[in-house]
Chains A and B, each alone.
Chain A
Amino acid sequence: MKRRALLAALGAAALTARAAPAPARPYRIYMTTWRGITDVEKGFQGYLAERGVPVQYTWRDAGQNRAKLAEFQREAREMRPDLVYTWGTSATLGMAGTYDAPQLAGIPVVFALVADPVGAKIVPRLAGQGRDVTGVFHVAPVAAQLEAIRAYRRFTRLGVLYNAAESNSIAVVSELKAGLERAGGRLLEARFAATPDGQPLADGIEERVMRLKADGAEWLYLGPDTFLYTNLDKVAGVAQRAGLPTFATTESLIDSPAPVLAGLVSRYRAVGEFAGYKAEQILVERHPARDVPVETLSRFVYIVRVEVAKDLAFLPPITLLNFAEFR
Chain B
Amino acid sequence: MSAHQASLRGYRLAALGAVILAVSASILACAALAYSAFERELRPEALRKAETVGHVVDALADKAMRFQLPLEKLPGVNDLFDSLEKQNPEITWMAIRVDDKPIFARGQEAHAKIAGGRVELPLITMGDPAVLEIAVDPAWVARLFRDMALDMGVILLVSLVISMELAIYLTGAGDFRGVAVLQNALHAAASGNFRGVTTTDSARGEARTLLAALASAVDTLAMKRALLAAAIARRWPRRHADAGERERLRAALARLRAATREYALPTAPVPDVGRVDASNVLGAMRAPFFLFLFSEDLSRSFLPLYAGSLPVGPFAIPVHLVVSLPISIFMLIVALSQPTLGTWSERVGRRRAFLAGGLMGAAAHLASAGAGSLSELLVLRAIAGFAWAVAFVAAQGFVIDHTDRATRTRGLATFVGIIMAASICGPPMGGLLADGVGPRWTFAIAGLLATGATLLAWRDLPRALAARRAVRQVRPRDYAAALANPRFAALLALAAIPAKVIVIAFCFYLVPLYVAESGHNAAMAGRIIMLYSVMMVLGVPITTEVVERIQRTRHTQPHVAFVAGGLVVSGFAGLLMLMPLGLWGATALVFLLGIAQAMSIAPQSAMVADVSAADMNRLGESAIYGVYRLIERLGNAMGPVIAAFLLQVFGFHTAFAAIGATVLVCGIAFYATFRNGVEPAADRKEARA
Contact = CB atoms under 8 A, between A and B. Distances in A.
**Physical contact A–B (CB less than 8 Å):** yes
A316 B74 contact: yes
A315 B75 CA distance: 7
Interface in A275-327: 306, 309-310, 315-322, 326
Contacts, number: 42
The residue in A315, A317, A318, A321 that gathers the most chain B C-beta atoms within 10 A of its C-beta is A318
A315 B79 contact: no
B464 interface: no
Nearest to B70: A315
Given A316-B74, A319-B80, A306 B60 contact: no
Interface string B45-65: 000000000000000110110
A157 B79 CA distance: 23
A224 to B, nearest CB: 28
Contact of B68 (A153, A306, A316): A306
A318 B80 contact: yes
Contacts of B79: 317, 319
Measured as residues with beta carbon below 8 angstroms from the partner, the interface class of chain A is 10 to 19
Nearest to B57: A318
B73 A321 contact: no
B68 to A, nearest CB: 7
A321 B64 contact: yes
A318 B103 CA distance: 14
Nearest to B74: A318
Interface magnitude class on chain B: 10 to 19
Contacts of A315: 69, 73-75
A319 to B, nearest CB: 5
Interface in B62-114: 63-64, 67-69, 71, 73-77, 79-80, 83
Contact of A306 (B67, B75, B76, B80): B67
Contact of A326 (B61, B67, B74, B83): B67
Contacts of B77: 317-318
Interface string B433-459: 000000000000000000000000000
Nearest to A153: B75
A306 B74 contact: no
Nearest to B75: A317
Contacts of A153: 75
Nearest to A317: B76
A100 to B, nearest CB: 36
Nearest to B56: A322
A318 B79 CA distance: 9
A325 to B, nearest CB: 11
Contacts of B68: 306, 310
A315 B61 CA distance: 14
A80 B67 CA distance: 53
A238 to B, nearest CB: 25
B75 A321 contact: no
Contacts of A322: 60
Contacts of A316: 69, 74-76
Contacts of B74: 315-318
A326 B60 CA distance: 12
Interface in A171-220: none
A315 B72 CA distance: 11
A317 to B, nearest CB: 3
Contacts of B80: 317-319
Nearest to B69: A315
Nearest to A322: B60
A310 B71 CA distance: 13
Contacts of B67: 306, 326
Interface in A10-59: none
Contacts of A306: 67-69
B492 to A, nearest CB: 42
Nearest to A320: B76
Contacts of B61: 318
A207 to B, nearest CB: 31
A308 to B, nearest CB: 12
Nearest to A309: B69
Nearest to B60: A321
A45 B61 CA distance: 39
Contacts of A310: 68-69
A306 B83 CA distance: 25
A113 B61 CA distance: 36
A72 B516 CA distance: 58
Interface in B637-672: none
A153 B61 CA distance: 19
A304 to B, nearest CB: 9
A309 B75 CA distance: 13
A326 B63 contact: yes
Contacts of B69: 306, 309-310, 315-316
A317 B71 CA distance: 10
A274 B61 CA distance: 34
Contacts of A321: 60, 63-64
Nearest to A314: B75
Nearest to B104: A318
Nearest to B64: A321
B86 to A, nearest CB: 13
A322 B61 CA distance: 10
A298 B67 CA distance: 27
Given A306-B68, A306-B69, A319 B76 contact: yes
A316 B75 CA distance: 7
Contacts of A318: 60-61, 64, 71, 74-77, 80
Contacts of A319: 60, 76, 79-80, 83
A306 B73 CA distance: 14
B513 to A, nearest CB: 20
Contacts of B75: 153, 315-318
B74 to A, nearest CB: 5
A150 to B, nearest CB: 12
A309 B69 CA distance: 10
A322 B73 CA distance: 17
A155 to B, nearest CB: 13
A320 B75 CA distance: 10
A322 B63 CA distance: 9
A280 B63 CA distance: 39
A306 B80 CA distance: 20
A306 B69 CA distance: 8
Contacts of A326: 63, 67
A306 B67 CA distance: 7
Interface string B322-359: 00000000000000000000000000000000000000
A13 B67 CA distance: 40
A306 B64 CA distance: 10
Nearest to A306: B67
A302 to B, nearest CB: 14
Centre residue among B74, B76, B77, B79 by max chain A CB count within 10 A:
B76
A287 B80 CA distance: 46
A320 B80 CA distance: 10
A321 B75 CA distance: 11
Nearest to B62: A321
A318 to B, nearest CB: 5
A211 to B, nearest CB: 28
Nearest to B61: A318
Contacts of B64: 318, 321
21 contacts: A306-B68, A309-B69, A310-B68, A315-B69, A315-B75, A316-B75, A316-B76, A317-B74, A317-B76, A318-B60, A318-B61, A318-B75, A318-B76, A318-B80, A319-B60, A319-B76, A319-B79, A320-B76, A321-B63, A322-B60, A326-B67
The list of the 3 closest CB pairs from A to B, nearest first, reads A317-B76, A321-B63, A318-B74
Given A316-B69, A316-B75, A318-B61, 19 more contacts: A153-B75, A309-B69, A315-B69, A315-B75, A316-B74, A316-B76, A317-B74, A317-B75, A317-B79, A318-B71, A318-B74, A318-B75, A318-B76, A318-B77, A318-B80, A319-B76, A319-B80, A319-B83, A321-B60
Interface of A: 153, 306, 309-310, 315-322, 326
